[in-house]
Structure 1
Amino acid sequence: MPAAVGTIETLGFPAVLAAADAMVKAGSVTLVYYGLAESGQFIVSVRGRVSEVKIAVAAGIEAGEAAYGGQVITHYIIPNPTENVEDVLPIEYTAKVERFRE
């Protein structure tokens, strides 16, 4: 089943934690990636149906901005990425997150 990817980049850990928490609670999505971008910037990515990812990213942006000192730097949604993108970027469903999928 094709699944969209939603990514949020924040400044500071509290904002990315709040964003990730809000994303998985707001929509039927699976957290597939978390990482440090640079200079205190963090990235979190989720996968799921396009409509669910849109809801989750909107909730994540709101929560990230509401976190103490939180700042959402950027966000992006890619509906139905091609296999080429999935092979190169760390957005695939891994065995570690497989149990959280629908």
Structure 2
Amino acid sequence: MLYAIGVIETYGYPTALAAADAMVKAGEVSLLGITQADSGHQFVTIRGRVGEVDRAMEAGIKAANDCPNSGQVMSHYTVPHPTENIESVLPLHFDENSEPFRV
């Protein structure tokens, strides 16, 4: 099955956590992780079927922007059907922590 990938960049960990929570509740998606960048930026990455990722991304963006105090989405992007090259180069695969939650 072809999986889409969705990534939301937020400012602050609580905002990333709010986005991740909303994403896994809104669509049948797997959370691949929350990755810390620099200067307080976080990346929330999910995988699932295209329609499910789209629905989850909408919910995650709304939840992050509604997060009290410093909630803010910096950027976001959905890759509908990533090529093997993208999957082999970037850390977008299921790992031992996310595998049990694969949808």
TM-score norm. by structure 1 comes to 0.96
Instruction: Name the Cα RMSD after superposition.
Output: 0.8
Unaligned 5+ segments in structure 2 are none
- Runs of 4+ in structure 1 deviating by more than 3 angstroms, as ranges, are none
| Residue of structure 2 equivalent to 1:18 | 18
**Number of residue pairs aligned between Structure 1 and Structure 2:** 102
TM-score norm. by structure 2 comes to 0.95
CA shift at 1:99, angstroms? 1.1
For 2:64 and 2:34, the matched residues in 1 are separated by 14
Structure 1 residues 55-70: aligned runs within 5 Å: 55-68=55-68, 69-70=70-71
Structure 1 residues 79-94: aligned runs within 5 Å: 79-94=80-95
CA shift at 1:33, angstroms? 2.6
SS of equivalent to 1:42: strand
Q: State the identity %.
A: 52
Structure 1 residues 1-102: aligned runs within 5 Å: 1-68=1-68, 69-102=70-103
Unaligned 5+ segments in structure 1 are none
